[in-house]
Structure 1
């Protein structure tokens, strides 16, 4: 890490360098359609630039769209300063509805147009519910998906790294199936099978020499509009470029911040309920070698009605271009029946408050509601591939006006990696007003409790008025309504990261034996790839394993969250720790010499076993860890990510796993106390 710029006075450093807002605007739906419109229409011999799009006469009139060129659109994105526009309509949280499908319905019995009665239709739905898995496997869905290669690249042969005696403390030393020889010390050489040329490149390579430029964002013209991805942009930042004096005491604002806030780009989600908010952290290295640590919180906001109407028109155009008339008739018939069932559900829900609780009528009404909801769910599964009226509004059930949602990320950047936990709690606190009282354990605003201030007030307080604490003797207090938060640094005689790093997430997701195996791979300076469905889990696990190396320091490439457009960095011939999301498509792993750690399934795979620790030291380390973290063995806690790594507000409540941030008196470090007690127990 390069030192801070010489113009920055350590006594004048802000508590956070930057606050940013990233995502997409509703107008980008129009931009994507303008870019992809030519690919949907039949190709002509010549294409005139900026020519008006010719459409059929029977197509519904389209809402006005921006007519500026692509270059002008990009320049507008760079100059957006709309921090006040981010506090839009507020809606209650809800579970995220699945929107992943690459299906187009084929070969289903004719419905609707063929005169199928309601009874026969119900029977068909029941048959589909009973044979859903086999039904979806038999029909082949192709429209709306990217064309796969005829011969995909084969996945490298790896072996699962297992432990022979994971449940025993006294027997079975070692975490891999192989013999450990303690007599011939010369045999304990590196087992990673690296060539000498690779070893040389590892010593010579650095971050800037092995991390390539991001791949350009590629539009997918034949993709269904609800599966199409949009390029995230920087909507706003503080301080802006015009505040030159404020920028002098900060590191340069890095490029590609939206790409790290949305590692897998952005897509529009169709859901009756607002998708759950998530969070994750990341680290970025500038061209001058300076490093910035970031934390961002993703909140879903509704797509405005005009953009939703335009998106529905795009879906209709996609159906005409990619579906046969029979398939469109089938989808139209299902859509009409779905709209009728949703209207029926609205009527039943309206009758619910007027029926006495506990009566036979109430029980019958609840049964009818359950039956209608089951029908809607089945028809949604059938219609999700083509999105034909599946997001119609249900009074009392659909949050927002359209049922379509786009993500927006609020983030903080700073040079102090030890402040990431504080920034996370600060972000979770300042976005609470967007939930309109739907979160538990938060009292309503009042003159006695406190009133919410504008978001700009909190941002200026964090990034301009509050200074970073100089040492562990001082601490900085920030107030968000009645909540008081304290930022402090660690003492010089404490282990680095002991107060800020959360190691529970790593010990919750992996077993003790796999953690020791991962530790051996890190000591061997391997190419380690972390895999998880939850982006925050990648940040937590990578930070935990690097801090457990103390007193050693990880000197390789460190990218806790690797965006999909930087996926080619996995081929870098040097040690690295990177995290990738499970939902990435077409991920090509290195041909050899890598370690894949599945944080969701508690599985480690590699092309070769690690260099093991000495037998006695490994036995003692495993025993101490099992005494310190008995939650898996003694209490039966299942492996997997904790709740706060899955959701920013687990169980619809504001809770924190780091209580030290909310008390003015810093708690005493307990690591030395626990370590001494465990060593005494071992010596007895």
Structure 2
């Protein structure tokens, strides 16, 4: 009798794949190429400063052709000049010339020692304050585009289709009513009467972008990614590197685990880094960010992913090579004044920081309220102000200084490369759980940047290797099959609970996050966007934060329930797939503002700026009925009064900008850390009148502290 398969071997895992993406240090510096290139043989050098021991009678000094001392000069030598401005002898004098035994072309030519006084501290402060007042004009003179200096004439503004800013529909209706007048109303009534008398004739409708989704599938409208191209003239810190897949679990060779999962898709690193990878030169570790993306496989099924980006210091060997490349670029593209300015600011800044440390050490010895204490306080304030000013002035021209400045740079080299940790799976309802799990496992990688996290101890908990957490998520923990079961995952002292919605709940209601959308857009713009979605338009979301694109696109598709978005859905579109915006079908696509070659379609599109709270389009949307629209706006004003009543500024929330806002381990999904599921309020809201939404009691729950955050 054949053995029966156990339930655990065929159960669906909590996550399909775990992956790590980024760049290798060998992409910046290849040790094998430099080791293969051996230096050429060099003979024993002769010291330059030793005088040549030779007889002056037998070896007279060679004179320049056509010079006054030359006898019998040829006519063809008239191209040589004995002018003082072109002769080195005019500088050193004819009697001071002493030949050396070195015949190398690289012999050192010593310049004339001129007595020029150094810039005093008072003069430097005057120049510093003048530079602070004229900093904007100075930066405009440095024409740097993507790291490469280009002439001003070559800069041409990008052509953009003519769009109209969409405002409130009520204002547009009032303007139309004032322009139309009574005569327009009579014409409309007469037209309606004439239409009633005419027989109905079937008119063939031409296919439009809203109906072309029946003609085109996802794979037919998404083009092949553009090949990666790196310009050699770019600044090394502006140069982009192609991201690669560093590791994944389960690996490709593990057949017993890959059979019960979907195939691992291509181009995952491109979606993890939509704008490719750059090396960052920073004094401090860059802030960690996160975002989510969705992909469609060959069979049409969707895959959802969440990834967190952490910045790692570049190793010493690659940092030295990168610094050499930066120095070569500076010599070729920057003037001596700009490089000298950056170097001088760096030296002055280090001296001021040392002075601040000395003053702070003397502060405890001064009595409180004494004249000496007041003098020290004034000196400390002046030095701190000067340090802040010089640090701000140094950053715009930082590419002219060295990567590391003593007293300013944290780390070994000051160069940082991103490393992306992500989770991939079919169940889109688990994305919030995956995000909290990723935040927990990358906390020890920040080297104490996340504050108020207890250190590891046998009493509180010990950090396990990363492989232990990955195997627990992708193999050992099964996915919950119904709302009656929940899966507990432990990470040190944290307990995370994965669960599904009940049958009588809205699908995805426990995973959807609509606060980010309502925070970044006003209520009128949200209703306008809702109308565009119902009209199946081509919607382009624009933001400087990648995670905001993911949150807004997921919230839009949740708000149209019970309808389901059937068009193309790409929350984060990589820069190398930007030509997908020309697809002749409805779509919801998110693009980053920092894309270089960002070109919008010629017509029939909607641009939603999530950072500026604006909506632009080539045509106005199909409005909801006036009565239903007013009722919807009134209900939203009652339940989402954070902008109107409480004065919350419009813009992306802090958790959509970085992974750990305020350097704390906080969460916008507290139900994931609660053993008891939060009761749903859907039944009470459905049975209540919309006019009484603002009077419904809001349940107040005591939230437990998460990692002392």
Q: CA deviation at 1:334?
A: 3.5
The residue that corresponds to 2:353 in the other structure is 345
Q: CA deviation at 1:185?
A: 8.8
What are the equivalent positions in structure 2 for 1:527-546 lying under 5 Å apart?
527-546=538-557
Corresponding residue to 2:387 among 373, 380, 383: 373
Given the superposition, is the C-alpha separation of residues 336 and 638 from structure 1 closer, same or farther in structure 2, using an over 3 Å criterion?
closer
Q: Deviations over 1:520-549 (max 9, x none)?
A: 101111100001111111000000001111
What are the equivalent positions in structure 2 for 1:161-200 lying under 5 Å apart?
161-163=166-168, 196=207, 198=209
The residue that corresponds to 1:16 in the other structure is 15
> Is the partner of 1:431 in helix, strand or coil?
helix
The residue that corresponds to 2:567 in the other structure is 556
Tell me, yes or no, if structure 1 residue 447 matches structure 2 residue 447. Answer: no
What are the equivalent positions in structure 2 for 1:82-481 lying under 5 Å apart?
116-138=119-141, 140-141=143-144, 144-145=147-148, 153-163=158-168, 196=207, 198=209, 201-323=212-334, 327-328=335-336, 330-332=338-340, 334-349=342-357, 351-356=359-364, 359-384=373-398, 386-389=399-402, 391-394=404-407, 397-481=408-492
The residue that corresponds to 2:61 in the other structure is none
Given the superposition, is the C-alpha separation of residues 623 and 333 from structure 1 closer, same or farther in structure 2, using an over 3 Å criterion?
closer
> Is the partner of 1:562 in helix, strand or coil?
coil
- C-alpha root-mean-square deviation of aligned residues, in Å? 3.4
Contact 1:162–1:175 (Cα < 8 Å) also in 2:
no
Contact 2:17–2:424 (Cα < 8 Å) also in 1:
yes
Corresponding residue to 1:498 among 506, 509, 514: 509
Given the superposition, is the C-alpha separation of residues 566 and 149 from structure 1 closer, same or farther in structure 2, using an over 3 Å criterion?
farther
Given the superposition, is the C-alpha separation of residues 494 and 522 from structure 1 closer, same or farther in structure 2, using an over 3 Å criterion?
same
Given the superposition, is the C-alpha separation of residues 200 and 680 from structure 1 closer, same or farther in structure 2, using an over 3 Å criterion?
closer
Contact 1:15–1:463 (Cα < 8 Å) also in 2:
yes
Contact 2:422–2:438 (Cα < 8 Å) also in 1:
yes
For 2:327 and 2:571, the matched residues in 1 are separated by 40
Contact 2:345–2:390 (Cα < 8 Å) also in 1:
no
Contact 1:32–1:230 (Cα < 8 Å) also in 2:
no
Q: Deviations over 1:237-276 (max 9, x none)?
A: 1111111111011111111111111111111111111111
What are the equivalent positions in structure 2 for 1:28-107 lying under 5 Å apart?
28-30=27-29
TM-score, length of structure 1 as denominator length: 0.80
For 1:683 and 1:231, the matched residues in 2 are separated by 51
Which structure 1 residue ranges, 5 or more long, are not aligned?
Answer: 1-7, 38-49, 58-111, 188-193
For 2:644 and 2:682, the matched residues in 1 are separated by 22
Q: Which moved more, 1:339-348 or 1:211-220?
A: 339-348
Q: Deviations over 1:220-241 (max 9, x none)?
A: 1101111111111111111111
Which structure 2 residue ranges, 5 or more long, are not aligned?
Answer: 1-6, 43-114, 196-204, 696-709
Given the superposition, is the C-alpha separation of residues 350 and 410 from structure 1 closer, same or farther in structure 2, using an over 3 Å criterion?
farther
Given the superposition, is the C-alpha separation of residues 264 and 33 from structure 1 closer, same or farther in structure 2, using an over 3 Å criterion?
farther
Q: CA deviation at 1:683?
A: 13
TM-score, length of structure 2 as denominator length: 0.77
Contact 1:508–1:641 (Cα < 8 Å) also in 2:
yes
Tell me, yes or no, if structure 1 residue 671 matches structure 2 residue 670. Answer: no
Given the superposition, is the C-alpha separation of residues 493 and 11 from structure 1 closer, same or farther in structure 2, using an over 3 Å criterion?
farther
Matched length = 592
Contact 1:546–1:554 (Cα < 8 Å) also in 2:
yes
Q: CA deviation at 1:492?
A: 1.8
Q: Which moved more, 1:113-122 or 1:496-505?
A: 113-122
> Is the partner of 2:400 in helix, strand or coil?
coil
For 1:380 and 1:683, the matched residues in 2 are separated by 52
Contact 1:174–1:615 (Cα < 8 Å) also in 2:
no
Given the superposition, is the C-alpha separation of residues 10 and 345 from structure 1 closer, same or farther in structure 2, using an over 3 Å criterion?
same
For 2:237 and 2:32, the matched residues in 1 are separated by 12
Q: Deviations over 1:45-91 (max 9, x none)?
A: xxxxx995999x9xxxxxxxxxxxxxxxxxxxxxxxxxxxxxxxxxx
Contact 1:212–1:569 (Cα < 8 Å) also in 2:
yes
Q: Which moved more, 1:431-440 or 1:580-589?
A: 431-440
Q: CA deviation at 1:406?
A: 1.1
Given the superposition, is the C-alpha separation of residues 334 and 146 from structure 1 closer, same or farther in structure 2, using an over 3 Å criterion?
closer
